[in-house]
Amino acid sequence: MSTREIIILPDHRLKLVSAPVPEISRDVRKLVEDMFDTMYEAPGIGLAAIQIAVPTRVVTVDISRENEPRNPLAFINPRITWASEEMSCYQEGCLSIPEYYEEVERPARVRVSYRDLDFVEREIECDGLLATCIQHEIDHLNGVLFIDHLSKLKRDRVTKKFIKQARHREQGH
């Protein structure tokens, strides 16, 4: 069990489309363990493998509150098979875009097919925060960030801010 570095905007790898997992292996199980460790340490409620620079279709989620028992969920090769016409708005943030939050509108309910850690095909229907979180993480697998759902003006503003911060880090400031 170990934490891994989360890549930050404007890292180009965040725009990669992740490859499907062909089978469960020791490496995939280790990846999922490391993703949970990294997500809890951050702290966050969801993490896509690409956020730790692994372009594979793996997502971890845990929306339990601080005073509740953990409820870790791992999704291998998740895909949305149905989305409600009803929409909902949540203020979203992202571990790869730290300390930036914005309202995003998404379908209120979704059905997701995925494989579990035994590579058994599963399906979950969810709403509320879980639906928002899963959609956010599946977007990552497709190279889409939550800021891509914002107006061009807001998206450009936050992207420029993170490009500037990256330059400062590179220059040792």
Per-residue pLDDT tens over the stretch 75-91? 999 999 999 999 999 99
**Paired residues of 111 in beta bridges:** 82, 125
How many whole angstroms from its chain centre is CA 100?
15
Query: Is 95 strand, coil or helix?
Result: coil
Q: Give dist(CA 83, CA 94) in Å, integer.
A: 22
Give the residue-averaged pLDDT of 4-17: 96
User: How does residue 168 score in pLDDT terms, banded at 50, 70 and 90?
Assistant: confident
Catalytic-role residue among 5, 92, 137, 170? 137
**Mind listing the domains of the chain with CATH numbers?**
12-170 (3.90.45.10)
Q: Is 102 a catalytic residue?
A: no
On the question of pLDDT at 47 being above 80, the answer is yes
Q: What is the pLDDT of residue 170?
A: 82
93-112 pLDDT tens trace: 999 999 999 999 999 999 99
User: What does DSSP assign to residue 74?
Assistant: E
Distance CA 93, CA 75 (A): 20
